[in-house]
Amino acid sequence: MTFRATVITLYPDMFPGPLGHSLAGRALERGDICIETINIRDFATDKHATVDDTPAGGGAGMVLKADVLANAIDSVEEPQPARPRLLMSPRGRPLTQKDVRELAAGEGVVLVCGRFEGVDQRVIEGRDLREVSIGDYILSGGELAAHVLLDAVTRLLPGVMGNASSGDNESFENGLLEHPHYTRPQVWEDRKIPEILTSGNHAKVEQWRNEQSIALTRQRRPELLNEPDRGETDE
């Protein structure tokens, strides 16, 4: 099955962009995912192809017009059941690995990329857009946020990661940050690989990794240890 992503943007040339490379690039080539773009400007109705206007009530910046954006959204051909429609937005719920996993299990996604000060509130309500943030900072547009979301989804699609199990132990997948990694050479600038990792004792290695994982999480992200999702997958 092909995961179908439709990106509604003023900058369609930004896609696939970074998603055309490496793991995601190969997934695109194989057809595990397809990314189509819709140019919001194509739905402007005046001769200047206006997509934005000044904010009602005054203030700085411009706002994406509800009528133009709604026409762009309505142009998406949608077989039943409809894909989730997300608006990239710093006001949205912060994206988590759990959200990414849920999206990757579905048929696809429609992503609306804001620009300027954002989009007219009425189109968010009228088209049932779920606002999603990629973090507590402000980007100049939703396109990079869409890339982040699609990259995270793509690597979870069936067949995309060569070693299927390599997704399971990642940071956040079991509610913990991942343990440290090492590879050859055995000694680098007087630093040795922890002996346990080269002992050949798999049970001990597993135990060490788990302890490291918990210690790192406690030190850096203690709030993760209290989350209800913790322990959802095998540790």
Measured from the CB atom, the residue of 142 and 175 that comes closer to ligand SAH is 142
Contact residues: ligand SAH, CB under 6 A: 88-91, 113-115, 117-118, 133-135, 137-139, 141-142, 145
Residue among 76, 65, 98 nearest 7 (CA): 76
Angstrom distance (rounded) from CA 207 to CA 212: 9
Q: What is the DSSP string of 181-222?
A: ---S-SEETTEEPPGGGGS--HHHHHHHHHHHHHHHHHHH-G
Q: How far is the CB of 89 from ligand SAH (least distance, A)?
A: 5
Structure tokens at 224: 């993760």
DSSP readout, 29-52? HHTSEEEEEEEGGGG--STT---E
β-pair type (63-64, 85-94): unpaired
